[in-house]
Amino acid sequence: MNTKRKIAFGSDHAGIDLKKPIMDYVKSLGFEIHDFGTYDHNRTDYPIYGKKVAEAVAKGEYDLGIIMCGTGIGIGMAANKVPGIRCASVSEPYSAKLSREHNNANILSLGSRVVGPELAKLIVDEFLGTEFIGGRHQRRIDMLTAEDEHNDVKFEEVKNGSEEKYNHYNYNEGKNIL
Ligand code: RB5
């Protein structure tokens, strides 16, 4: 059973017709949901809703987010501007699964003009049902986090590092310690 129970939703006008059935589906699975808008078909701007959901997830008010626009691209870009957010824009279940296992994605972005509700449910099943596996992937997440938290990050190239030695990536006063 996935321990992440509170899911934040958001979309622009183009994503709203996919958002409704997916919110109902996620609710039926027992998750607590909240819709950060938009709430009607009037034309609006996806950065508003990507930012709202991303900030709620980044603050820890929600465990994960699911957002939609026409392609899933614009609203995903908006979400990824918020520090701490790793939003995956995907259109099939395999990438949704790997976005959790390897990338510890905390927001899923879908395109209502790309996937229908039934495919979207399969994608959501993988996203909500898969946990981050850590290990060597943790170091890469730490590198992304360093980019969020510092403005002068320089990455050191590491190839074939052992899991133990390179498990964690530490940022310290502009120098990278691996
Ligand atoms: C709106 O027409 C559309 O551009 C938007 O929903 C999204 O697909 C942008 O990435």
Residue range 30-60, pLDDT digits in tens: 999 999 999 999 999 999 999 999 999 999 9
Phi, psi for residue 75 in degrees, rounded to 5:
-70, -30
Active site residue 102: yes
Reported pTM: 0.93
Segment 105-162, tens digit of pLDDT? 999 999 999 999 999 999 999 999 999 999 889 989 999 999 999 888 888 777 776 6
47 & 65 share domain: yes
13 is annotated as an active-site residue: no
Across 39-49, b (16+ Cβ under 10 Å) vs e yields eeeeebebbeb
Are 61 and 36 in a shared domain? Answer: yes
Residue 1 covered by a domain: no
Specify the pLDDT at position 178.
47
What's the CATH code of the domain at 75?
A: 3.40.1400.10
Question: Going by CA atoms, what residue is nearest to atom 8 of ligand 1?
Answer: 70
CA of 147 to the centre of ligand 1 (A): 27
Same domain, 46 and 76: yes
Nearest residue CA, atom 3 of ligand 1? Answer: 70
